[in-house]
Amino acid sequence: MRAVVSRFGSGHFQQALEVGSDHFVSDVDREKGGNSTGPSPHEYLGSALAACTGMTLKMYAGRKSWDLQDAIVTVDILRADEVEIFKRTIQLLGNIDAEQRERLLEIANKCPVHKALAGKIEIQTILN
């Protein structure tokens, strides 16, 4: 996996991010003192879960030759009592029967980002 590098961007909170040759920014909403120039760090977390879920469902349905035309994944992140709550809603489009829908839900819960967020996480910080 490629490393993610963050540097100060413009404005109070903006961060210039790079992953290999890909460049993008993160910021916070104007109401929170930012300039709303990009998704917030929490929105990137939600994006990671949504994208990984969609990729996992697409790959699995393709292997099974199921008629899954699209999976629309929406992730909202709420905070309650010091707990981050990821509310993920999945809309399956295509000719998918009840048994396939149930299996796709099981598969969605096995996407790598879901497993990382729901599992034990360790953060090692090195100050240079």
The residue with tokens 């981050």 is: 84
102 and 47 share a domain? Answer: yes
54 and 112 share a domain? Answer: yes
Residue 113 sits in a domain of what CATH number? 3.30.300.20
pLDDT at residue 53, rounded to an integer: 98
What is the residue-level pLDDT of the chain in tens, covering all 128 positions? 999 999 999 999 999 999 999 999 999 999 999 999 999 999 999 999 999 999 999 999 999 999 999 999 999 999 999 999 999 999 999 999 999 999 999 999 999 999 999 999 999 999 99
Domain span at 34? 1-38
Q: What's the chain's Rg over C-alpha atoms?
A: 17
Number of H helices, E strands in the chain: 3, 5
> Could you tell me which residues come within 8 angstroms of residue 66 by beta carbon, excluding any fewer than 6 positions away?
94, 96, 100
79 and 102 share a domain? Answer: yes
Evaluate if pTM is beyond 0.85.
Answer: yes
State the total domains in the chain: 2
47 and 68 share a domain? Answer: yes
